Structure 1
Amino acid sequence: MYYHPITDSFKLITQQRELLKTTEFKYVYPSLNEYLNKMESSGVPARKDLDILLSYLINVIGSAKGTQTRFRNEAERYVLFCWNEKNKSVLKSTIEDIRDYIDWLWSPPKRLIADNTIASRYKAKPDSDVRLVNEAWRPFVLRGAKANRKTNEFIAPERANITKPKQAYSLNQTSLQNSYASLNIFFKELWETELISRNPVSLVKKSCKYLVKGKIYKPPHTLDDETWQLFVDTLTQAADENPLYERHRFLVLTLKVLFLRISELASRDYCVPVFGHFSQDPSGEGWVLNVIGKGKKQRLVTVPDEFIDHVLIRYRESLGLSPLPHIDETMPIMPSFKTGQALHQDSLNNMVEEAFDLVIKSLKSLGKNQQAHAIAGASSHWLRHTGATQALSEINETMLAVELGHASVKTTVEVYVAPAHRDRIKKGVSRKL
């Protein structure tokens, strides 16, 4: 392969780094070993660079799936660019190399673009420890919009056979900003560990010819009240008819009502959310949930009485548990039915997707195609945004910031209130001809 993936899954990169320093590596990663040998024969210290990259991913990047994917993809892609396009170590990067990399990102060679989402870089060889490279992997992916896929599948299947114009790969402004941010974190780590003498990324960003300056306010994606009520009714009916959907109902309602990120209910290396994290506050005023959020920061989220009565108790009884949690209870909040172990974020994401699919089908059956289209591209974060937006009529911005885990109330106001934007629009519409 011209561009060979050099990092394994996040569950295996610690093991991969340990193997890299042993003779066993060439047996477990035969094709990667050959690739590294090829790079080193051309004068690139590939094994040293790979060790640096794996150390960065293990020690710096968190375990939230979205964060993992974003930072790993960018750092791995940049290392491969240095090796293949510049024939040098990542530690020898110059300002000009960063500029050339951004040009390369903006318009990558077609041979490096996959036309569908690649699930993994490596696959396990049956009955062995050998990791086989996925030959279909590419550094770039031409992804179709999820909204289009859901529309073709559930809302307007007749559209699936319509010939569509060929789509070309393009990098949008958000992706470009994310690439700069991810690359900056990577180089900051190299600089702080004294592997390089300066971080050139910020200098390149200032003069980037592709970046559009300014920031337009974009309101958070939310579900309207009617769609949210249909969500609750649909999942409740599904759970009444099939107990397997009790977890879906609980997951969706918890994300929305308690303003959680989906990672905050998932199993992570440093935290497994368990029922014992629900407790009565010492004040005696009500229940709270102890959450480990972004940056491993703890916060207490208030739990409404209605949630206790109509969501938590119902869910626990479906699992054969007592109605209310005990302070020392260690059972995972989102357990696997097969193993009893806490589910990882991938599994929770799949459940949310299945829940949204049910609602899209319900909207379609009711003839509400416009509302179905509106949520075709929705994600779990829409639930957190919906809950926070609705809560603004009940609690002030400062309280909401604490509930959401925002470091500053300014963030909460900018996202959910946007007074400057609202005032400007309000004044603007009354301007005279």
Structure 2
Amino acid sequence: MSTQPMPIFETYEIFIDMDFSLREPSMTCIRQYIEKFPALVEANKGYLTTREFLRAFSDNSLTFTSYRTHVERLLLWALIIRQKAFSQLKRQDAEDYLEFCRNPPAVWIGPIVRGRFVTCDHTESAWGEPVIPNPKWRPFSLKCTKDSSDGLTPAPDDASQDIELGAAPGVVTRYKASQSTINQIYTICSRFFEYMVEDGTVAANPFRMIKKKSLNRGTPQEEGTNRALTPLQWDYVLETAEHMAVEEPDRHERTLFIVATLFAMYLRVSDIVGRPNWHPVMGDFRLDPEGNWWYHVIGKGNKAGKVAVREEYISKYLTRYRRFVGLSPLPEWNEQTPLLMTLRGRPGLSGRQVRALLQSVFDNALARMREEERGEHETNSLRVASAHWLRHTSATLDAPLRSPKDLQMDLRHSSLSTTQDVYYHSHDQERSRSVRGIGMRDRG
């Protein structure tokens, strides 16, 4: 396939005003471009998945712009170069993509342009609309000045943040991806796939399986991860959420409650935002005759289940949040108060909103660790953490303290072997301590 890469997503200002109920691109030129690809690459599904990921991080324009660059580029590569759907990409594909980003072909490289989309001087275009893709746009940008003698005018809604300053007229810098750029590509693409894994779009994250040698001068995170924070990182995340709740209670008491709830019961995001046929309420917390608290949930496959609730969560986090929103300290029998509400009091939050709140906690926790001069080896895995990591982190930390069967029931795994294979393994810190004091001789 010789399809030329073209921009697929708009600027931040246009994107946030989109009608997300449409199950296809709203711009004619993008829709026609997507329709060019064969059915087997699932181009429209890839577009919609990428769009939802970007929407989850649309609270901040800078974050959106950075993420858009990398996931749009990955989508174009999958469709044009690899000719595969996201669900078909494997570890080797991920490694090949990183190598592609180190040395992209010339047709994928161009000058930094003012607008991704431009207005056409003519009343009719090949796309049937006045706004068309900027023909000078490329997925990879060179540092050079722009030639505006093409008869095209930047679209009025396009931001001008992409202008490269300081380049002398006519000077072109040869494209070369730095190691930090490759690391950033890896981090964002891995986070994208973690999002798709959690959403059920793909079965695994191919970037997570990449070995250090594939990233050249990679960092420990790039050797792979079990998607669990270290105890130190988790302490920072929880403390950060608590600090945010104190500093901005109207906004972040709910954020702290979300963090604590997901962690305390190994929950998925869908377990607190609900499903089409089930909406979580406070009455889903129930006290049995023996005085034990349980959280009743409708999980994957519409399977009903219940999760044991730890005492500290009830006494410290659930009661705190309920008091904050004006409720009695403990849930009442059959209470129908929504588990989560918007800041304006409307029932329910979307998964996108929950993930955005959690990402703000992860980002602030990482910033605190850097301010306190924590080493790179202590912070690396936090850079790619996602909402689903709280479930894995809690189960990983609890595994040495609980029986496999009990943990399996609360994780709602259908197979005990899944729980044992994932969580009952040698922890790195324990493994390191076990060998640290063993000498080279004198074994006794």
TM-score normalised per structure 2: 0.53
Residue of structure 1 in register with 2:415 after alignment: 408
Q: How far, CA to CA, are the matches of 1:325 and 1:363 in structure 2?
A: 36
Aligned ranges for residues 29-428 of structure 1 at < 5 Å? 29-35=27-33, 46=36, 49=39, 54=44, 78-81=78-81, 106-107=99-100, 109=104, 112=108, 167=180, 169=182, 220-224=228-232, 227=236, 230-231=239-240, 234-235=243-244, 237-238=246-247, 242-266=249-273, 269=276, 271-281=278-288, 284-294=290-300, 297-326=303-332, 328-338=334-344, 340-356=346-362, 359=365, 368-370=372-374, 374-375=378-379, 377=383, 378-419=385-426, 426=434
Q: How far, CA to CA, are the matches of 1:360 and 1:217 in structure 2?
A: 17
Note closer, same or farther for the CA distance 1:105–1:114 as it changes in structure 2 (3 Å cut): farther
Secondary structure at 1:392 match in 2: helix
Note closer, same or farther for the CA distance 1:52–1:419 as it changes in structure 2 (3 Å cut): closer
Report deviation, 1:335: 1.6
Note closer, same or farther for the CA distance 1:416–1:33 as it changes in structure 2 (3 Å cut): closer
Greater shift, 295-304 or 165-174, is seen at 165-174
Residue of structure 2 in register with 1:2 after alignment: 4
Residue segments in structure 1 that go unaligned for 5+ positions in a row: 18-24, 37-44, 84-89, 92-98, 122-129, 142-163, 189-209
Report deviation, 1:285: 3.8
Note closer, same or farther for the CA distance 1:327–1:79 as it changes in structure 2 (3 Å cut): farther
Residue of structure 2 in register with 1:192 after alignment: none
Note closer, same or farther for the CA distance 1:5–1:326 as it changes in structure 2 (3 Å cut): farther
Secondary structure at 2:331 match in 1: coil
Secondary structure at 1:369 match in 2: coil
Report deviation, 1:289: 1.5
Q: How far, CA to CA, are the matches of 1:296 and 1:252 in structure 2?
A: 24
Secondary structure at 1:418 match in 2: coil
Q: How far, CA to CA, are the matches of 1:106 and 1:307 in structure 2?
A: 46
TM-score normalised per structure 1: 0.54
Secondary structure at 2:296 match in 1: strand
Report deviation, 1:250: 0.9
CA distances 1:116-171 after superposition (whole Å, capped 9, x unpaired): 9xxx99xxxxxxxx998887997799xxxxxxxxxxxxxxxxxxxxxx95755488
* Greater percentage in helix: 1
Q: How far, CA to CA, are the matches of 1:131 and 1:348 in structure 2?
A: 37
Q: Which has the higher contact order (CA 8 A, sep 6+)?
A: 1
Q: How far, CA to CA, are the matches of 1:100 and 1:363 in structure 2?
A: 33
Is 2:320–2:329's contact at 8 Å kept on the other side of the alignment?
A: yes
Please report the RMSD computed on the Cα atoms of aligned residues, expressed in angstroms: 5.9
Report the AA paired with residue 5 of structure 2. Answer: Y
Secondary structure at 2:349 match in 1: coil
Percentage identity across paired residues of the two chains: 23
Secondary structure at 1:246 match in 2: helix
Note closer, same or farther for the CA distance 1:359–1:72 as it changes in structure 2 (3 Å cut): closer
CA distances 1:409-428 after superposition (whole Å, capped 9, x unpaired): 33333333314987899579
Greater shift, 390-399 or 130-139, is seen at 130-139
Residue segments in structure 2 that go unaligned for 5+ positions in a row: 57-66, 86-91, 118-128, 142-176, 204-213, 216-222
Report the AA paired with residue 2 of structure 1. Answer: Q
Report the AA paired with residue 3 of structure 1. Answer: P
Note closer, same or farther for the CA distance 1:403–1:231 as it changes in structure 2 (3 Å cut): farther
Report deviation, 1:65: 5.6
Note closer, same or farther for the CA distance 1:255–1:395 as it changes in structure 2 (3 Å cut): same
Note closer, same or farther for the CA distance 1:288–1:46 as it changes in structure 2 (3 Å cut): same
Note closer, same or farther for the CA distance 1:296–1:222 as it changes in structure 2 (3 Å cut): farther
Note closer, same or farther for the CA distance 1:423–1:253 as it changes in structure 2 (3 Å cut): closer
Q: How far, CA to CA, are the matches of 1:268 and 1:131 in structure 2?
A: 41
Q: How far, CA to CA, are the matches of 1:165 and 1:102 in structure 2?
A: 16
Is 1:114–1:137's contact at 8 Å kept on the other side of the alignment?
A: yes
Report deviation, 1:222: 2.3
Report the AA paired with residue 107 of structure 1. Answer: F
Report the AA paired with residue 247 of structure 2. Answer: A
Report the AA paired with residue 36 of structure 2. Answer: A
Note closer, same or farther for the CA distance 1:235–1:404 as it changes in structure 2 (3 Å cut): farther
